[in-house]
Structure 1
């Protein structure tokens, strides 16, 4: 059996049973060395101090007059340290690849402390007068302590050279080193992290992949490991591996490690500060599909956790390749023909113009381009042609995973972000999302639906986006609404119905008076057995009936005509959230359609007058809304109610 493979297997088994060690307080100098490592100068300067100290110790040992045997042993240890320090200095000054300096600075600081102790002890052994001998009492125990410190420093240096310098004295084979140096005996994770990062910096291709996989595994275990990896400088080499690796396996390993690390905003900001966003977007555009899956997941996580990353990805135009991934094999030829048949003459002319531009860009791709738009268009065509054969050769499972990851990334980029939502609608993203909601199932369908929900929520907040992307004459907008209504009516799954209902509610102000087909499915869902679905339907209908909607009167009458009042009355007996939204909708219906007999038959006035004060609480706006609703009903049905109009307000 391969000894190296055996040691790695043992490492994995050991790590699975390892509990995170208790943090031991570091000496102030050691903590300062760790904290200030990033702010120090060249690593050669950090090594020069212990090298000078070693020479001083050797000189002091030669001058010793007492404890000569013990001083000679100190001299032998210091000589070994001196050789290894000089070997490490040669490594630091050698040409690229760059030396990973985090463990070097820590070990150099520890070695310097040991040498200072040795120098102090050796100087006590020089020729001294009687008074100094009496004051400076030296014992064999002092030498044992110093020799123990020097032994530990030798062990640290041997480990460091085995990790960083395979060709130097004491160096190893250049692969991953799983042994523990004395400096990390209380925290083995630190030594493993150092070894893995060093291997990514300067190891062979297979070792770099394995090291990235091990970092990903460590990061997945717990947040403490993530913190150590980031603090010890693990992000830059992972980004470099993602960018420069020739093998997809190496890029996948780097992307997975970064994904596991970037699980909170602080660590996402570290990736952003290392200029990771442009690099990630470049890999997202150019990498094979297997790599793109993991890179798109990384984009989704970073965009979800950090608004700065969300904006940076949009600025680097990450949306365009994500939409291209979704649209790959989505539009079949016959679907396009049907779509063209439904378009206006003007739209067909515009589409033909775009086709002409693509053809011109492809034929003239070898000529200098006159504008940035032309260059990007040509690059897109060439890139698509270069990857087409590779994409078509992938398995359906890989293609599905890619689309799921791309849809999730678009979802997170659009979440709470109006400019990003606008960018998606300016591509063929809306029509593509609608097609996938129609054709796909499970995770991909859900991710596409959630993306649409975020885009429609942005459109609700921004009138320009609403008018541009969801105008009634837009084929893409019509396709989106058709699929949302189909989900609401035909698929009895709350996880899909709720985002579809919310999306329709967000678009309430885009529907004309004749579009009553969107009202009836929502009214039907007021009677859904799942209270969350029924409540979401009430919330969406409120957006149709509220005064902010200039067609509120027409929509309110349609809701009453579709028999929406009885299920609302039942919702008044549900949980607090359902009660509140049902009450608001009933008030709007009473205000805008108070003359309808359906309200009287359902005894809405009695319900409004008997509203529990715990629901309204100190909400003066809600109390005022109820008073207006009661007034409207009494005004239209005064012959039935003989008591005073303002009795409720008292």
Structure 2
């Protein structure tokens, strides 16, 4: 990136111009090799003329003209200065001086050939540089190779493309952005060069200008390819990319919004700073708005709650969150759905959205759902913002009605929100109140997936979500425990293990209702499948199973099911194996507790440590 401490480009050019003037004077003073010095002088004259043309370009003060792309100018000017220094040193040796100086300073034809070769290379560099800068005036993309980049042609192509994006006509800018996207897609080295050569600012400018959807799509595609690394995403953030992306997301055609949502997902995935910045710029609102488009059209409330006056008011509160007291319900309900259709700026494209190809609408929703997933990942702030919109109802509705990538992305968003709620009591109490229609709708869909959908990819995040919400369920909510117990018998080992982990959160001592939930797990015949899992060869699965079994023994130790299943014997056998210290302590406590209820059995008492 260009540093604020760098000299102005005019100052950068003044040094080679000064050296070129000195070479011209030295050529005039030469006493030997006059013909060779004359050839050097001709090349220097050509360089001098080009350098002055560059200065005129750099000092042009038209406010309508785009800024000059300076990276290649600085590199070429620096190389030209070195070559002019070589020429000056050589020509000065051709001036008549003392006999000793002539002996020490022997000059040959080979020296002139070498210097002329360097000067010729600089002339070629300057020709190429002026051609790409002139391209900004309508000359188009230049793909010839300057001598300075002969060992690394990618650099010269990147320079040419960036110059066209920054200074070219619209069609050239679109073509150049597409070329940069293609280069960025190839490998990480190309991405690094594009960022180092200051390609991000002109791409972001093209992206947010909004003069052409094709230009925005080309720029967004390039930016998406570049935003797959923490350092590069951090550069986009420093270049004020986050507000630009949110602006485009709020007010652009659907194809552009899809790519903007992809960019949000990429940046949030790789950089927590970008995650926070998107929260500050309120990126959640347009994403939820776009995800909700068409979702509630046929049946705004669907199966998300009974349509009593009370439930409508509750749902309206969840949707609106900003409706002021004193307004009629119909008014606040209408305002809530105005928000669904888009922000004030996004409304400009509502009719276009309604007439768009269904496949494009679907892709936009997939992208928005992924963006919400990445924004919610590990972020309490963003998870809270999603729950403060109508996002929860929308996610539940989509999980209920859709399939494929859209359903998966929405389910993963729910999983991240519930994980944030598990770690944050305030969010848990606010978003997952027992009387919240949004929370009820989400839980209903999670339970439906656990019970009815035979897909580990969906069942596992659904169970993670239910487990994360374990502390929000009352003792009467046994319908939540039952499907988890049933899944302990699932043929898929990962699904069965995740069911054990979720149930452990119900039976854990940190759960206020751990005793009641432990009894429910046993009543739903959870001990036999749990004992079968303990015989698994998978160490992790065995440790999770032991943890749950110990919780059940500690909280419902007098239950006959534990004795019938020979739980005490199983725990004593496990205690003799190598266990992690925390599980070993838990097992020992469970053995002691179970022995309290079976003290008459001397054989079992003998197992006590």
- CA deviations over 1:269-301 (Å, ceiling 9, x no partner): 101111111111111111111001111111111
Aligned to 1:323: 288
Aligned to 1:260: 225
Contact 1:302–1:310 (8 Å) recurs in 2: yes
TM-score w.r.t. the length of structure 1 is 0.88
User: What is the distance in 2 between the residues matched to 1:378 and 1:581?
Assistant: 43
Return 5+ residue gaps in structure 1 as ranges: 1-34, 363-375
Does the residue aligned with 2:145 lie in a helix, a strand or coil?
coil
The CA deviation at 1:165 is 2.3
User: What is the distance in 2 between the residues matched to 1:563 and 1:360?
Assistant: 49
1:228-247 counterparts in 2 under 5 A? Answer: 228-247=193-212
Aligned to 1:185: 150
Aligned to 2:602: 642
The CA deviation at 1:601 is 1.3
Contact 1:425–1:469 (8 Å) recurs in 2: yes
Does the residue aligned with 2:344 lie in a helix, a strand or coil?
helix
Aligned to 1:81: 47
Aligned to 2:472: 510
Does the residue aligned with 1:616 lie in a helix, a strand or coil?
coil
User: What is the distance in 2 between the residues matched to 1:512 and 1:195?
Assistant: 65
User: What is the distance in 2 between the residues matched to 1:551 and 1:262?
Assistant: 45
Contact 1:571–1:582 (8 Å) recurs in 2: yes
1:214 aligns with 2:179: yes
Which deviates the most, 316-325 or 36-45? 36-45
**CA 1:161 to 1:37, structure 2 compared with 1: closer, same or farther past 3 Å?**
farther
**CA 1:102 to 1:348, structure 2 compared with 1: closer, same or farther past 3 Å?**
closer
Aligned to 1:8: none
Aligned to 1:592: 555
1:134 aligns with 2:94: no
The CA deviation at 1:387 is 2.0
The CA deviation at 1:622 is 2.2
User: What is the distance in 2 between the residues matched to 1:56 and 1:382?
Assistant: 64
User: What is the distance in 2 between the residues matched to 1:492 and 1:333?
Assistant: 28
Aligned to 1:19: none
Aligned to 1:151: 120
TM-score w.r.t. the length of structure 2 is 0.94
1:530-549 counterparts in 2 under 5 A? Answer: 530-549=492-511
**1:571 paired residue among 525, 533, 543:** 533
1:93 aligns with 2:71: no
User: What is the distance in 2 between the residues matched to 1:340 and 1:353?
Assistant: 20
**1:341 paired residue among 279, 304, 307:** 307
1:482 aligns with 2:444: yes
Aligned to 1:42: 8
Aligned to 1:24: none
The CA deviation at 1:593 is 1.3
User: What is the distance in 2 between the residues matched to 1:525 and 1:569?
Assistant: 14
**CA 1:354 to 1:405, structure 2 compared with 1: closer, same or farther past 3 Å?**
farther
User: What is the distance in 2 between the residues matched to 1:649 and 1:582?
Assistant: 21
**1:580 paired residue among 534, 543, 554:** 543
Aligned to 1:114: 83
| Cα RMSD (Å) | 2.3
Aligned to 1:465: 427
The CA deviation at 1:410 is 0.5
**CA 1:408 to 1:615, structure 2 compared with 1: closer, same or farther past 3 Å?**
farther
**1:54 paired residue among 6, 17, 20:** 20
Does the residue aligned with 1:595 lie in a helix, a strand or coil?
coil
1:496 aligns with 2:458: yes
Does the residue aligned with 1:611 lie in a helix, a strand or coil?
helix
- CA deviations over 1:546-567 (Å, ceiling 9, x no partner): 1111111111111111111111
- CA deviations over 1:186-228 (Å, ceiling 9, x no partner): 1111111111111101111111111111111111111111111
Does the residue aligned with 1:75 lie in a helix, a strand or coil?
helix
User: What is the distance in 1 between the residues matched to 2:85 and 2:2?
Assistant: 21
User: What is the distance in 2 between the residues matched to 1:342 and 1:459?
Assistant: 29
User: What is the distance in 1 between the residues matched to 2:586 and 2:135?
Assistant: 79
Aligned to 1:249: 214
**CA 1:379 to 1:631, structure 2 compared with 1: closer, same or farther past 3 Å?**
closer
User: What is the distance in 1 between the residues matched to 2:201 and 2:315?
Assistant: 49
Does the residue aligned with 1:44 lie in a helix, a strand or coil?
helix
Aligned to 1:72: 38
**CA 1:488 to 1:242, structure 2 compared with 1: closer, same or farther past 3 Å?**
same
Contact 2:206–2:219 (8 Å) recurs in 1: yes
Aligned to 1:521: 483
User: What is the distance in 2 between the residues matched to 1:512 and 1:592?
Assistant: 17
User: What is the distance in 1 between the residues matched to 2:157 and 2:265?
Assistant: 29
Aligned to 1:10: none
Aligned to 1:550: 512
- CA deviations over 1:99-136 (Å, ceiling 9, x no partner): 11011001001001111111111112223233322221
**2:591 paired residue among 606, 613, 630:** 630
1:379-458 counterparts in 2 under 5 A? Answer: 382-458=344-420
Contact 1:433–1:452 (8 Å) recurs in 2: yes
**CA 1:238 to 1:85, structure 2 compared with 1: closer, same or farther past 3 Å?**
same
User: What is the distance in 2 between the residues matched to 1:480 and 1:292?
Assistant: 27
**CA 1:356 to 1:635, structure 2 compared with 1: closer, same or farther past 3 Å?**
same
The CA deviation at 1:631 is 2.4
- CA deviations over 1:565-594 (Å, ceiling 9, x no partner): 111111112201110010011111111111
The CA deviation at 1:36 is 8.0
Aligned to 2:323: none
User: What is the distance in 1 between the residues matched to 2:328 and 2:589?
Assistant: 56
Greater RCO (Cα-Cα under 8 Å, separation 6 or more): 2
Contact 1:358–1:381 (8 Å) recurs in 2: no
Aligned to 1:195: 160
**CA 1:613 to 1:118, structure 2 compared with 1: closer, same or farther past 3 Å?**
farther
**CA 1:41 to 1:379, structure 2 compared with 1: closer, same or farther past 3 Å?**
farther
Does the residue aligned with 1:165 lie in a helix, a strand or coil?
helix
User: What is the distance in 2 between the residues matched to 1:411 and 1:340?
Assistant: 29
Aligned to 1:356: 331
User: What is the distance in 1 between the residues matched to 2:497 and 2:315?
Assistant: 42
Aligned to 1:610: 573
User: What is the distance in 2 between the residues matched to 1:282 and 1:335?
Assistant: 28
Contact 1:437–1:448 (8 Å) recurs in 2: yes
Contact 2:224–2:262 (8 Å) recurs in 1: yes
